[in-house]
């Protein structure tokens, strides 16, 4: 990967682009080359990034969305503190999460037996911790509005809060897609936590964000920029696809 990118960089230099301050065009050319040539290393980085982030969003959704829906409908002592805690946890600094998960998963830590540290699994764990509060908080806000509309009628049908949760999740599915996207955005853009618990091991735990950080610190700015563009393109594509799906489905449902 480095070699190929280097070759493209040479081409750019011959065309009059100084190597030390790469412009966007050089980076674009490098990014384009990386993708069209199907660079194995880049491909594996992109694939791993997507796998880790998608899996983290899926696992976080399993907990976060029902939790958010429950907080939207249930009234119990301790609900307010829980909501405030959720709001605060949305802003968790990724490096701190990384550190905590690192301590949990390290050999001598309580979950050291899982042998997850410096593996993609550890990265998934860290991202799940990061985005579950986001999914819970955002879905609660979305579903509170829906509950305002549905609440009386559902209670008239004899639905308890627990029974109302699946109904809200299903009927709020279009809005929740946006919530999931917010989680995916946070997961795929995050670098601090996965760097600490994954270790940025080439071919094993290197994802786009950690690769970008590494290439930047090594001074290979075109490659870093190219990877950054790939990352942005993927995030954009995922968002566009989800938005399209949402619009389509919503137009059908009214």
Site residues (vs another protein, CB under 8 A):
149-150, 152-153, 155-159, 163, 167, 170-171, 174, 252-254
- Alpha-carbon distance 9 to 223, whole Å? 9
Residue 18 backbone phi and psi in degrees, to 5: -70, 145
Biggest CA–CA distance in the chain, Å, is: 75
Tokens linked to 220: 């290979």
Least separation in angstroms between CB 162 and another protein: 12
Residue 150 C-beta: closest distance to another protein, Å: 6
Q: How far is the CB of 253 from another protein (least distance, A)?
A: 5
| Nearer Cβ to another protein (166/219) | 166
Instruction: Yes or no: say if 73 and 117 are a contact pair by the CB < 8 Å rule.
Output: no
Task: Provide, rounded to whole angstroms, the least separation between the CB of residue 251 and another protein.
Answer: 10
Which of 113, 254 has the CB closer to another protein?
A: 254
**Does residue 30 contact residue 223 with C-beta atoms inside 8 Å?**
yes
**Residue closer to another protein, measured from CB, 233 or 250:** 250
Nearer to another protein, 16 or 158 (CB): 158
**Closest CB to another protein among residues 37, 149:** 149
Nearer to another protein, 25 or 249 (CB): 249
In whole angstroms, the minimum distance from the beta carbon of 153 to another protein comes to 4
Minimum CB distance to another protein, residue 75 (Å):
13
| C-beta closer to another protein: residue 159 or 182 | 159
Q: For the CB of residue 134, give the shortest distance to another protein in the complex, in Å.
A: 24
């Amino acid at each position: 990967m480095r070699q190929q990118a280097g070759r493209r960089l040479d081409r750019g230099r011959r065309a009059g682009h100084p190597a030390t301050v790469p412009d966007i065009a050089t980076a674009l050319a490098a990014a384009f080359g990386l993708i069209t040539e199907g660079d194995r290393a880049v491909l594996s980085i992109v694939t791993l990034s997507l796998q880790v982030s998608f899996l983290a969003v899926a696992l976080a959704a399993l907990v976060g969305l029902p939790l958010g829906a429950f907080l939207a409908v249930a009234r119990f002592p301790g609900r307010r503190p829980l909501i405030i805690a959720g709001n605060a946890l949305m802003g968790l600094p990724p490096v701190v999460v990384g550190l905590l998960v690192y301590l949990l998963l390290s050999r001598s830590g309580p979950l050291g037996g899982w042998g997850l540290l410096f593996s993609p699994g550890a990265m998934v764990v860290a991202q799940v911790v990061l985005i579950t509060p986001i999914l819970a908080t955002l879905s609660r806000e979305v579903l509170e509005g829906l509950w305002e509309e549905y609440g009386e009628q559902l209670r008239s049908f004899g639905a308890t809060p627990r029974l109302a949760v699946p109904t809200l999740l299903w009927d709020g599915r279009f809005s929740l897609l946006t919530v999931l996207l917010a989680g995916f955005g946070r997961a795929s853009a995050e670098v601090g936590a996965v760097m600490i618990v994954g270790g940025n091991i080439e071919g094993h735990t290197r994802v786009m964000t950690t690769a970008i950080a590494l290439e930047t610190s090594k001074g290979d700015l075109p490659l870093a920029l190219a990877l950054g563009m790939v990352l942005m393109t993927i995030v954009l594509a995922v968002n566009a696809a989800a938005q399209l799906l949402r619009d389509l489905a919503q137009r059908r449902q009214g």
